[in-house]
Structure 1
């Protein structure tokens, strides 16, 4: 959801390399759609473990250059001290979390040269595409059970903690259980569940029209619904008339 579709699209174009076609934005083979929100603005009090937190992770070829470019075009940092290299136990990626001008969280992601997934190898350009969307959940089991009913399966799981994770999240001593879910046969984009064991996610509610109400859009016929934590899922028909 966005308060201003034109201004929001311009940020994603200029700062992150998206192609713009009205409310539809494309990067590589992935797309997002902008919808006008009529509810509350993104909350002023915000953190990486907020229950409404949902970000897009954008794969880049050169995270130092992408960080500099996004910052010069209006991105505001969530992470402290710039991009962070996570330990091998957390995937060994280099990442940086930030927000767009309306408050929506995003992430830049660069894989190590010797551990780049096949789907991201050999691609030119600075900004390559969307690897996943990540959502904060109150409990992994309940959320994983829900998403399995939509066809997802577990792809990986890790416990992320330590100084690099703290700097990435902008939180003191976080311990987050990260569970990657995917649709069978589809490497990207996938879904990550972020279960903050410490610090625990604060309580919070939001409506489906609030600016914070990012939606996961799937092929299918299911109506707009909400997962156990309130994140929105919307089914769309991809059939050609």
Structure 2
């Protein structure tokens, strides 16, 4: 059986675990889960990290988790001056109970803002959400989002606190059709919604002039968190597609579960994409058309 059963969590490569923990826990109310340790057996090999020292820190925000990797010797730092039109710009959307209070907590921390003029309220045609984008200490983008109602707001209605979890991770793609062939084909995600965002509010949110962006929500069988695909029609990209390997600090990966990772790997390879399989066949690492990574695990793996 091919396809993803659930989006379990995320991995993000950083320079310094202590700095990362101080930022995410101190500013965004994540909490540490367990102790700093090593990668699970076999994962270093499929991520191409064999021969490097890798330290892992897992932080949880309510029901969702992110595992941060510190790699020695390190890969490339987060590249400067990459904006939302670049595939390296993969962000987490963190729903918040009160946008003004959340913005006050994070204003001036990390590497600074992406959005212009503080939180933006998008028009009803773009969902009517209030949102704000900024960067963590390594340069990774993050988004705060407040939903005016509907299923997204209902999912976290009973969750305590100001920062309510991770609703989705968004990836920018250069070829929308090619990305959807992978995501809705061998990965088995379902299109749950799509729209075209534009206007001055979207421009201020993204820190871009006059953007026009396709927004496609893709859901696994378990609906949260999910994947969001962004395809910028405008402005035109002026740089080549960026890729970052797992050792590089521009790298963020989805950690997903599939009933049969081998079947997923075979289906992805039929599309001509890169796949690395674990020796025992119960995990694989898929690299999408724009370099986005999916670590695919079998049921019951740690």
TM class, shorter-chain normalised? Answer: over 0.9
SS at match of 1:200: coil
> Post-superposition shift, 1:114?
6.3
Instruction: Quote the Cα distance in structure 2 between the aligned partners of 1:190 and 1:49.
Output: 20
SS at match of 2:193: strand
Please point out which of 130, 155, 167 is paired with 1:131: 167
Equivalence for 2:244: 206
Instruction: Quote the Cα distance in structure 1 between the aligned partners of 2:77 and 2:83.
Output: 15
Instruction: Quote the Cα distance in structure 2 between the aligned partners of 1:191 and 1:57.
Output: 10
Instruction: Quote the Cα distance in structure 1 between the aligned partners of 2:60 and 2:90.
Output: 19
TM-score under structure 1 length normalisation: 0.94
SS at match of 2:27: helix
Where structure 2 has 5 or more consecutive residues not aligned to the other structure, the ranges are: 1-12, 37-56, 262-282
Supply the RMSD in Å over aligned alpha carbons: 1.7
CA contact (8 A) 1:15 1:74 kept: no
Equivalence for 2:255: 217
Instruction: Summarize the alignment of residues 81-160 of structure 1 with structure 2, pairs less than 5 Å apart.
Output: 81-113=117-149, 116-148=152-184, 149-160=186-197
CA contact (8 A) 2:28 2:106 kept: yes
Count of residue pairs the alignment pairs up? 240
Equivalence for 1:239: 300
Equivalence for 2:43: none
Instruction: Quote the Cα distance in structure 1 between the aligned partners of 2:60 and 2:158.
Output: 19
CA contact (8 A) 1:14 1:73 kept: no
Instruction: Quote the Cα distance in structure 1 between the aligned partners of 2:174 and 2:163.
Output: 31
Question: Aligned pair 1:26/2:56, yes or no?
Answer: no
Equivalence for 2:25: 13
TM-score under structure 2 length normalisation: 0.75
SS at match of 2:284: coil
> Post-superposition shift, 1:40?
0.4
CA contact (8 A) 1:56 1:107 kept: yes
Please list every run of at least 4 consecutive aligned residues from structure 1 whose deviation after the TM superposition is greater than 3 angstroms.
72-75, 113-117
Instruction: Quote the Cα distance in structure 1 between the aligned partners of 2:293 and 2:256.
Output: 11
Equivalence for 2:279: none
> Post-superposition shift, 1:116?
4.9
CA contact (8 A) 1:217 1:233 kept: yes
Deviations 1:203-237 (A, max 9, x none): 13333321111101111344112101111111234
Larger Rg: 2
